[in-house]
Structure 1
């Protein structure tokens, strides 16, 4: 069982913009009022293509699927929220909070993977939970320690506890849940996705412990990470706002691991944090300013890791 993969799937956007349906609880999204929709889409596409190019240049196998114009899917660039891929050939399909995000789920994405030689044997579909207004948004909500079979989840309107437990039972993970908050105005409100404040790599974890207000929960997470031999690299809430928690470790050519993040995330890290990451692996960063500002997501959100076996 591997924690990181060389194979990823990314969705190339056609009508990227700020999604008003997700902005109600994604406090990282902002309007770019001085830009028209065409310019925002153009800039997002430039960022997307440059990012894919950068990943391929270090040997990451990127399968790119084009979004379609027929549905209004401004967030299609973040495919990891509606599907997850597992080494036993299983695909998880997830219930989405925003109605227009449900339109991102497309059969042909799986056909493309199969055409690329990946084997899909089984689907576990949680989408009926949408009828009860319950959500669990893929590897945005679920941080999977695939080696130690632990799943970390910051509970929020987009990550229901019962669904999380159901996932853990289905996929045989031990659940580690907690509440992670951010300061919005003068309130502490739940961070919408776990992968915004935490990243799990092979030998380390990047995490905003300050966002976990409950001391017991904070201690419990650190205990789990340390007992699994992971160095804990703490980041601040300010760095979370620069998407420093939204990074992902991938395998490049010759099984070389890379920590992948946006330029904004990289620029927010201090020397000590960078040294700690560099001790474990090299860093790949790419500018994603438009995508981060309008979409409220960053490098990790754009990547669906493919752990399926090849035929």
Structure 2
């Protein structure tokens, strides 16, 4: 089993804007009234892809469809995950306008690129019962140790998460993660905003896990799998310093990918701990982060499928 990959599926935006349907529980989003929002988001996306390609990360870039009115399509990791056994999982999405992002024709493109698809495991019927589990946004997968970390939220149902873990043979690690919003503690919408799991380390906002018992349990799992724990503050999490992904480039070189904002939010000690394990690759994603409420990790759907 591999924890990181050198191949990503990414969706180029055509109608990017703040999604009013997700803003109800994504407290990172802001509405920018600017005619250039989509143009700027496309430039940030293209520059980001160029940086990834420049270090040898393979990107399979597909275009969104304007007529579908899918403002968040730039974040494909929420509706699909790809696995080494050739299985694909499709996930139920909280926002009705995000459900149209699931475009199965993208899979034909993957097959054209030489990937083998054995089976599609479809959880999307849960939407009929208002039950959601938004892919590797809601779950952090430790593929090597076969554990899955999930902060329960309106977009991460505990029972469906356990069902996923049974189907894909992961041990569930369940907890609650909160952020301060208007003086109240409210659930963080996606686990991957407060936690990133790399081969040898984890970046995590422990301050967001209010329960000492749950925090201790998460740390127990990370430590027994020999992950160096790099803690970030809640303020750093709000700069998207938890929304990162480790990838592999040319010559098996490893990179921790993040936004320029996340990179700037880290302190020297945290940077040096990360750089013991891999290089940092950061890119300017200001418009995407501000309107979309997601950052670098959300834009990359990792492909682990076998080659045909």
Matched residue, 2:189: 192
Matched residue, 2:26: 26
- Measured in 2, the distance between the counterparts of 1:310 and 1:161 equals 33
RMSD: 0.4
- What is the DSSP-based 3-state SS (H/G/I as helix, E as strand, rest coil) of the residue aligned with 2:126? helix
- Measured in 2, the distance between the counterparts of 1:116 and 1:40 equals 32
Q: 1:165 aligns with which of 162, 166, 173?
A: 162
- Measured in 2, the distance between the counterparts of 1:243 and 1:119 equals 34
1:210 aligns with 2:207: yes
1:181 aligns with 2:174: no
- Per-residue CA deviation, residues 22-72 of structure 1 (Å, 9 max, x unaligned), is 000000000113x12xx0000000000000000000000000010011201
- Measured in 1, the distance between the counterparts of 2:164 and 2:139 equals 9
- Measured in 2, the distance between the counterparts of 1:166 and 1:43 equals 39
Query: Mean alpha-carbon deviation: is it higher for 110-119 or for 156-165?
Result: 110-119
- Measured in 2, the distance between the counterparts of 1:132 and 1:280 equals 43
Displacement over 6 Å in runs of 4+:
none
- What is the DSSP-based 3-state SS (H/G/I as helix, E as strand, rest coil) of the residue aligned with 2:67? coil
- Measured in 1, the distance between the counterparts of 2:174 and 2:253 equals 31
Matched residue, 1:6: 6
- Measured in 2, the distance between the counterparts of 1:173 and 1:107 equals 25
1:232 aligns with 2:229: yes
Q: CA deviation at 1:107?
A: 1.3
Q: 2:139 aligns with which of 137, 142, 162?
A: 142
Q: CA deviation at 1:232?
A: 0.1
Matched residue, 2:92: 95
- What is the DSSP-based 3-state SS (H/G/I as helix, E as strand, rest coil) of the residue aligned with 2:101? coil
Question: 1:13-52 to 2 correspondence within 5 Å?
Answer: 13-33=13-33, 35-36=34-35, 39-52=36-49
Matched residue, 1:305: 302
- What is the DSSP-based 3-state SS (H/G/I as helix, E as strand, rest coil) of the residue aligned with 1:114? helix
Q: CA deviation at 1:230?
A: 0.2
1:262 aligns with 2:259: yes
Q: CA deviation at 1:298?
A: 0.2
Q: 1:104 aligns with which of 91, 101, 105?
A: 101
- Measured in 1, the distance between the counterparts of 2:288 and 2:31 equals 11
- Measured in 1, the distance between the counterparts of 2:118 and 2:215 equals 38
Q: CA deviation at 1:257?
A: 0.7
- What is the DSSP-based 3-state SS (H/G/I as helix, E as strand, rest coil) of the residue aligned with 2:144? coil
- Measured in 1, the distance between the counterparts of 2:90 and 2:67 equals 21
- Per-residue CA deviation, residues 2-33 of structure 1 (Å, 9 max, x unaligned), is 10000110000000000000000000000113
Aligned length: 308
- What is the DSSP-based 3-state SS (H/G/I as helix, E as strand, rest coil) of the residue aligned with 1:213? coil
Question: 1:51-90 to 2 correspondence within 5 Å?
Answer: 51-90=48-87
Query: Mean alpha-carbon deviation: is it higher for 104-113 or for 48-57?
Result: 104-113
